Amino acid sequence: MGSYQYSREQPRPLSHRRGKPDVIGDERSLFEFYLLNNGSFDGCASRANAKRVVNEGKDRLQQAIRLKAQADRPATLLEDVADALATRHPANAETLSAELLALFDAPEERKNYLELQGVHKPGSV
C-alpha cells in the first residue's frame, strides 16, 4: 500500500486512492456476500459468516459475475456512443465541408450533443 499515513486533518489525495483501495478487513468476502445475496447484507452475521457463505457459493458467485458482465455490455455500448457524441474530433474543422461544419454548434456554445444524449439542464424541458 505504500507508506502514506492517513490523518483526519489531512485527507488522502485522489492519486493515492486510484487503483489502491484501502483494506480495513475482509471487504472482498463482504462484497461477494452482497453479490450472492442480491445486493443485500440480510443474514450476514459476521465476516466469518460472509466468508463461509461465499466459499459455499463460489459457483453461483462466478455465474453472477458472468451474468453481470453480460448485462453491462449494452450499457457500455450506450456509454461509448454518448461519449462519442460529447467528443468533437479535433480535426473536424479541417476535414469537413463548410456546409457540414455549419451544422455543428460553435465550440463555446455546444448544446445539441446534450439533446442527442437525452441530457437536459433543470428547467430547460
> What DSSP character marks residue 116?
H
Each residue of 81-91: b (16+ CB within 10 Å) or e? Answer: eeeeeeeeeee
pLDDT at 55 (0 to 100): 94
By mean pLDDT, which of 18-32, 42-56, 95-109 is the weakest?
Answer: 18-32
List, for residues 104-121, the tens digit of each pLDDT value. 887 778 777 777 667 656
Angle between helices 27-36 and 58-86 (to 10 degrees): 90
Amino acid at 71: A
**Angle made by CA atoms 14, 19, 22, in degrees to the nearest 5:** 80
List, for residues 35-81, the tens digit of each pLDDT value. 898 889 999 998 899 999 999 999 999 998 898 889 888 888 888 88
- Among all chains, which residue has been given the C-alpha cell 474530433? 89
C-alpha cell at 122: 433543470
